[in-house]
Structure 1
Amino acid sequence: MSKASPRRIGLFGGTFDPVHIGHLRSALETAELLGLDELRLLPAARPPHRETPQVSAQQRLAMVELATAGVAPLRVDDRELQRDKPSYTIDTLESLRAELGKDVQLVLLVGWDAFCGLPTWYRWEELLQHCHLAVLQRPDADMEAPEALRDLLAARSVADPSALSGAAGQVTFIWQTPLAVSATQIRALLAQGRSPRFLVPDAVLNYIEAHELYRAPQTN
């Protein structure tokens, strides 16, 4: 009898302020391409490289839960919101490894810009001890990686995203043409009193409206 393949779990972090169809479509396409058993969206509490989100962590979590409800293989993991310190990816990976064991394949999804900034991440050299990296590459992105990453790419790159082997340690690239949607655009629409319908799932829009999120501050 052949040994069962290890589970393959994708990790997709972000502020999700708010979560929108660009996030969700990218997540679903990647999950299908990589054959993921599940793809966990991890809302960040205090992202060290980003501005503080406009709404509370619990509200952002609620919107991601609404957006992914009943959509396999997407699910939500709130462990970064349980911490009272910045959301360092290495801490999340160590936590997941301790929970899931050494054999599960963990695949961390990052955009090209984030990947190029990897040398600025906390304990970045240790990331590949715990996961594979799947870099979401856009056709219009600058393809030149910073010098600090060139040796890493030469040693660790795998051309076929579906061919990642082992529990961790490799880098692959996934070409995507992302939807032209951004959380910044959605927040701006809401601040202007305009509707972001069809840019976010209906359940998320209903939540935003019910809680009066992202509205421009009232002036007396």
Structure 2
Amino acid sequence: MTRPTRIAMLGGTFDPVHNGHLRSAVELRDALGLDTVHMIPAPHPPLRDTPQVSPHQRLALLETAIADTPGLKADARELAREGPSYSIDTLCSLRDEYGEQARLVMTIGWDAFLRLDQWRAPEQLFDVAHLVVVARPGHEEAPSSSLLELLGDREVDSVSRLMAEPHGRLLHVTLPSAMAISATHIRQWLGEGKSIRYLVPEAVENAILREGLYQRWQSAY
């Protein structure tokens, strides 16, 4: 019997994409046995500040970063959407693309998880996909009562139990590397003319410097 396709949505501003994003995507691919991780830049995230560079510039950096990495895909589907980008719309688009039996996963970090009950149509997310929450060391804030009510008894304790169904479950995972890289700090350092070497792939660093992104002045590396 053929194993159902396993797909993940990894959304974010990627402002800019850095090695922490990329390492997390690879580790999620391996931990969940995913066929493809769709890394999807959000043009105008509803609960985040407006990114400093254009959506298409961020997409281009993401494509440069991923290059030919197996199982990772830079996905532009949200950039064609007018107005705010909502995860439920993107998940429905992926579900339509891969079919009803595909194992579709939305992966988010702990901070975003704590705000899940503030998202657009959060109760519908589980009708379309599973939710995988990536733990962040040192973050122990408890979920709100409204979030716990939303989650109900959906949590499972293993990948095999998660993948037994196409959607509807919750799994918490801890990734091996837990790289603490901040896009905010990268933008700040670029604006101050400081080096971001080894925080982003070399090709991404070269593209940022070549195009003058995030910089008030050029620095000598």
- Judge same fold: TM > 0.5, yes or no: yes
What is the aligned counterpart of 2:117 among 116, 119, 123?
119
Residue from 26, 32, 46 that aligns with 2:30: 32
Equivalent in the alignment of 2:198: 198
Residue identity in the other structure for 1:167: P
Show CA shifts across 1:67-97 (max 9, x none). Answer: 1111111111110011111010011111111
Q: 1:170 corresponds to which residue? A: 169
Structure 2: which amino acid aligns with 1:42? I
Where does structure 1 differ by over 6 angstroms across 4 or more consecutive aligned residues? none
Q: Tell me, which stretches of 5 or more residues in structure 1 are unaligned?
A: none
Q: CA deviation at 1:5?
A: 1.2
Structure 2: stretches of 5+ with no match in the other structure = none
Q: Which moved more, 1:13-22 or 1:158-167?
A: 158-167
CA contact (8 A) 1:35 1:162 kept: no
State the partner residue of 2:212: 212
**DSSP 3-state at the match of 2:57:** helix
Question: Residue 112 of structure 2: SS of its match in structure 1?
Answer: helix
Structure 1 residue matching 2:168: 3-state secondary structure: coil
TM-score by length of 2: 0.94
Q: What amino acid is aligned across from residue 154 of structure 2 in structure 1?
A: R
- State the secondary structure of the residue aligned to 2:23: helix
Q: 1:161 and 1:37, CA in 2 relative to 1: closer, same or farther beyond 3 A?
A: same
Could you tell me whether the CA contact under 8 Å between 2:192 and 2:217 is conserved in 1?
Answer: no
The TM-score normalised by the length of structure 1 is: 0.94
What is the distance in 2 between the residues matched to 1:184 and 1:191? 11
- Percent sequence identity is 47
The equivalent of 1:45 in structure 2 is 43
* Cα distance change, pair 162–64 in 1 and its aligned pair in 2 (3 A): farther
Distance in 2 (CA, whole Å) between partners of 1:99 and 1:116 is 29
* Cα distance in structure 2, aligned partners of 1:43 and 1:214: 17
Secondary structure, counterpart of 2:104 in structure 1: strand
Query: In structure 2, what residue type is equivalent to 1:69?
Result: A
1:215 to partner: Cα distance: 0.8
Q: Output the CA distance in 1 between the equivalents of 2:10 and 2:160.
A: 17
Counterpart-to-counterpart distance in 2, 1:154 and 1:99 = 28
Confirm whether residue 68 of structure 1 aligns to residue 66 of structure 2: yes
Equivalenced residue count is 216
C-alpha separation between the residues in 2 aligned to 1:151 and 1:215? 44
Amino acid at match of 2:122: W
Please tell me whether the aligned partners of residues 17 and 61 of structure 2 are also in contact (alpha carbons under 8 angstroms): yes
Partner of 1:187: 187
